[in-house]
Amino acid sequence: MIAFDLDNTLADSKSPIAGRMAALLGELLTRLQVCVISGGSFEQFRTQLLHRLVVSPASLGALHLLPTCGTRYYRYGVDAEEWRQVYAEDISPKDKAVIVAALDQGAATLGFQNARLWGSQVEDRGSQVTFSALGQNAPVAEKEAWDPDDTKKRTLRDLVATEIPGFEVRVGGSTSIDVTRHGIDKAYGMTMLIAHLGIAKADVLFVGDRLEQGGNDHPVAAMGVDCVAVTRWQDTALLVETILAVT
């Protein structure tokens, strides 16, 4: 199985995958199991990924979707031709209030609430709460310019993590911080999927752009899965082309 992050791995942040990537994934799905695990919601997966794929129902059966950093798992039912939720590790309303308060306070302390916004800064994704410094719908160019060296995100992550030690707080996309229940992260999602498919960690390759300590891809590397670091979807496209050439 090959597992991918979504933003800045398969596509530009919050953007649909390119035609080149859609074609490569379509071919990959005819040969291997494919997983996409990212901080976005399932609805975001539909917009960025599913609406761009042109594949058969049988190929969709080889695609495993783990939105909100693996706190949810969706599998395509070939017979019913629909996506079904396998599990969801939702956060309680009480805990969400604690998380939102910590994110708001951290953003205020660092002056991030004064930025121009495209949508809300804090989004409740059910099993994950996400802070996006410029809002959920900010243009890609604005997001890339806001924190090119990740200093702002890491500072916010460290500050918020000290306020809510009972939760997982990790750097997400270009401007985002993802918060999930303690122990529920991408390593949890990958572990659940590996068990569900009855395969070994050695059978998995993970591709992502946030493999550094504190990044939301790091738990996958820490659990011993082989990983490839990328910085943009074009890097991933070259990798997939290489894999297809030898499989």
pLDDT tens readout for residues 116-145: 899 999 999 999 999 999 998 899 899 999
Domains and CATH numbers, the chain: 2-89+184-246 (3.40.50.1000), 93-181 (3.30.1240.20)
What's the mean pLDDT in 39-60? 94
How far apart (Å, rounded) are the C-alpha atoms in residues 145 and 77?
41
% of the chain exceeding 90 in pLDDT: 89
Angle at 34 between CA 33 and CA 38, to 5 degrees: 150
pLDDT at position 24 = 98
Q: Label residue 174 by pLDDT band (50, 70, 90).
A: confident
Q: Which of 55, 89, 245, 68 is nearest to 182 (CA)?
A: 89
Tens-digit pLDDT profile for residues 10-31 = 999 889 999 999 999 999 999 9
pLDDT at position 184 = 92
Q: Parallel, antiparallel, or unpaired for β 226-229 and 122-124? A: unpaired
